[in-house]
């Protein structure tokens, strides 16, 4: 499941998006439930299960009504799926050496993700002509590997294993940090250049999404990974060497992309970098004539509307999924999503769940993963994406207090 957890661009659309990880998750949930029935005990972490149930109910009561039932139910299902990822991952990581096996899996999953990021980035800049991208996206079950946006022309963002560039970067940033740690723990390749290429290709892929989520998260991921290895190793030299080699790999990939960039075909890197640096932290205004979207797509327009939702009903908000159902963008902000659509009740439920994770979780890997996934909370609605749920599982699995108390409870 972990190997394909970031793979969201391969889907079978049947009311919901049936992604590879979801099929594996269903098998794991059934297996855990069967084990619990045979042993006559709740198979998953008790306090977290209670926190999840309370959070789910606190969000579910914010029902928007009207013609929004389908979206409301899909979002509830996404929360349920995320909670399942949290519970089954934490349970699996109780096994001997499972943490190391998981990091090794992330490393080689990241190697595949980084390789496709490099290849697809060259496709996007026109290195192989102007038809290959369309042929790739015509492959059955492939939804999207790139997304045109922002500029009227010359801007094509990498989405790689996802249909959204921001979430693609979200996953690559999480995987780059975990791959970095795995390599330094001896869980990656035995060859230094392979480790550097894997870490560097993921960093390069995050840059090529041209998303603020990606660029900010990459800085957080780098800092967090160095912090973790600084705690674990007596010398900073191995971590700095890997970082330097990975940085060199990023520069090589960028240089090759600039050299092979065909102007007027796909994305034009000079225009894309110029736009991203000029836009910086702007929330967008109608005066920005270089932007090819309508005014309603600007955060400066739809963020205040989510605040209006909260002010109109502070307790329950406008209802889960109501924003998009009313023609607005997804808020691209976790706080606005919770307050605007679920009010104080849903927000309190989420804070309560976080409290459970903080009390029962521990370990530098978990805090690293949670810091990276939460760095995207300002620019993305991370609630319905399994990345943060997986990060939460890593934190929960690293808690020594949790292990001792759960063991004692099971013995009792």
**pLDDT (tens digit, 9 = 90+) per residue, 20-79?**
999 999 999 999 999 999 999 999 999 999 999 999 999 999 988 776 778 889 999 999
Residues 6+ apart with CB under 8 A from 230: 236, 239
The arithmetic mean of pLDDT across residues 301-323, rounded, is: 88
* Range with top average pLDDT, 12-16, 196-200, 268-272, 310-314: 196-200
Residue 411 covered by a domain: no
Helices (H), 61-130: 69-92, 98-124
Q: Are the C-beta atoms of residues 394 and 365 closer than 8 Å to each other?
A: yes
pLDDT mean across residues, the chain: 88
Backbone phi and psi for residue 94, each to the nearest 5 degrees, phi listed first:
-70, -20
Confidence class of residue 349 from pLDDT cuts 50, 70 and 90? Answer: very high
pTM of the complete model: 0.90
Q: Are the C-beta atoms of residues 170 and 382 closer than 8 Å to each other?
A: yes
Residue 332 covered by a domain: no
pLDDT (0 to 100) of residue 286? 46
Confidence class of residue 400 from pLDDT cuts 50, 70 and 90? Answer: low
Confidence class of residue 405 from pLDDT cuts 50, 70 and 90? Answer: very low
pLDDT (0 to 100) of residue 150? 65
Domain count, the chain: 1
Rg (CA), the chain: 21
pLDDT (0 to 100) of residue 31? 97
Residue 50 covered by a domain: no
Lowest-confidence region among 174-188, 260-274, 352-366: 260-274
pLDDT surpassing 90 at residue 160: yes
**Spatial distance between the Cα atoms of 412 and 406, rounded to a whole number of angstroms:** 10
Q: Which two tokens stand for residue 35?
A: 């084990």
pLDDT surpassing 60 at residue 205: yes
pLDDT surpassing 50 at residue 131: yes
Tell me: the pLDDT tens digits for 233-264?
778 899 999 999 999 999 999 999 999 988 87
Residue 37 covered by a domain: no
Which residue range forms the structural domain that includes residue 230?
97-281
Residue 193 covered by a domain: yes
Q: Which two tokens stand for residue 172?
A: 């690559």
Residue 318 covered by a domain: no
CA 173 to chain centroid, in Å, comes to 8
The arithmetic mean of pLDDT across residues 352-370, rounded, is: 93
The arithmetic mean of pLDDT across residues 162-181, rounded, is: 94
Residue 226 covered by a domain: yes
Whole-number Cα distances in Å, 289 to 16, 78, 198, 275, 286: 36, 36, 38, 12, 7
Whole-number Cα distances in Å, 214 to 295, 379, 380: 24, 10, 11
Q: Are the C-beta atoms of residues 84 and 390 closer than 8 Å to each other?
A: no
**Spatial distance between the Cα atoms of 174 and 368, rounded to a whole number of angstroms:** 9
Confidence class of residue 404 from pLDDT cuts 50, 70 and 90? Answer: very low
Backbone phi and psi for residue 17, each to the nearest 5 degrees, phi listed first:
-90, 110
Residue 148 covered by a domain: yes
The arithmetic mean of pLDDT across residues 114-130, rounded, is: 93
The arithmetic mean of pLDDT across residues 375-403, rounded, is: 85
């Amino acid at each position: 499941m972990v190997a394909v957890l970031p793979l969201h661009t391969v889907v079978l659309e049947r009311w919901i998006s049936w992604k590879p990880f979801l099929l594996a998750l269903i098998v794991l949930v059934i297996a855990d439930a069967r084990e619990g029935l045979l042993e006559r005990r709740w198979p998953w972490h008790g306090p977290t299960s209670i926190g999840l149930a309370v959070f789910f109910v606190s969000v579910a009561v914010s029902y928007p009504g009207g013609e929004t039932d389908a979206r409301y139910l899909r979002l509830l299902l996404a929360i349920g799926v995320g909670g399942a990822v949290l519970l089954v991952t934490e349970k699996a990581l109780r096994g001997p050496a499972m943490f190391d096996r998981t990091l090794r899996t992330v490393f080689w999953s990241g190697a595949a993700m980084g390789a496709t990021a490099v290849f697809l980035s060259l496709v996007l800049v026109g290195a192989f002509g102007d038809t290959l991208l369309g042929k790739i996206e015509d492959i059955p079950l492939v939804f999207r590997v790139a997304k045109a946006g922002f500029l009227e022309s010359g801007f094509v963002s990498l989405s790689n294993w996802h249909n959204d560039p921001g979430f693609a970067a979200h996953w690559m940033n999480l995987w780059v940090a975990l791959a970095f740690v795995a390599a330094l723990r001896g869980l990656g390749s035995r060859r230094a250049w392979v480790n550097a290429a894997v870490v560097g290709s993921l960093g390069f892929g995050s840059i090529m999404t041209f998303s603020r989520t990606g660029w900010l998260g990459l800085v957080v991921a780098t800092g967090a990974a160095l912090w973790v290895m600084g705690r674990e190793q007596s010398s900073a030299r191995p971590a700095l060497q890997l970082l330097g080699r990975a940085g060199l790999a990023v520069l090589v990939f960028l240089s090759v992309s600039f050299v092979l960039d065909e102007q007027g075909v796909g994305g034009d890197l000079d225009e894309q970098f110029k736009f991203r640096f000029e836009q910086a932290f702007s929330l967008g205004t109608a005066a920005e004539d270089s932007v090819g979207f309508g005014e309603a797509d600007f955060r400066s327009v739809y963020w205040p509307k989510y605040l209006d939702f909260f002010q109109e009903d502070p307790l329950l908000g406008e209802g889960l999924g109501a924003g998009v159902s009313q023609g607005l963008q997804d808020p691209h902000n976790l706080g606005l999503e919770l307050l605007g659509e679920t009010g104080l009740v849903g927000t309190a439920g989420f804070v309560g769940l976080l409290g459970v994770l903080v009390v029962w979780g521990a370990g530098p890997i978990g805090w690293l993963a949670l810091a990276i996934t939460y760095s995207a909370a300002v620019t993305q609605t991370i609630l319905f994406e399994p990345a943060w749920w997986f990060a939460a599982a890593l934190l929960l699995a690293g808690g020594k207090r949790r292990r001792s108390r759960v063991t004692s409870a099971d013995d009792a």
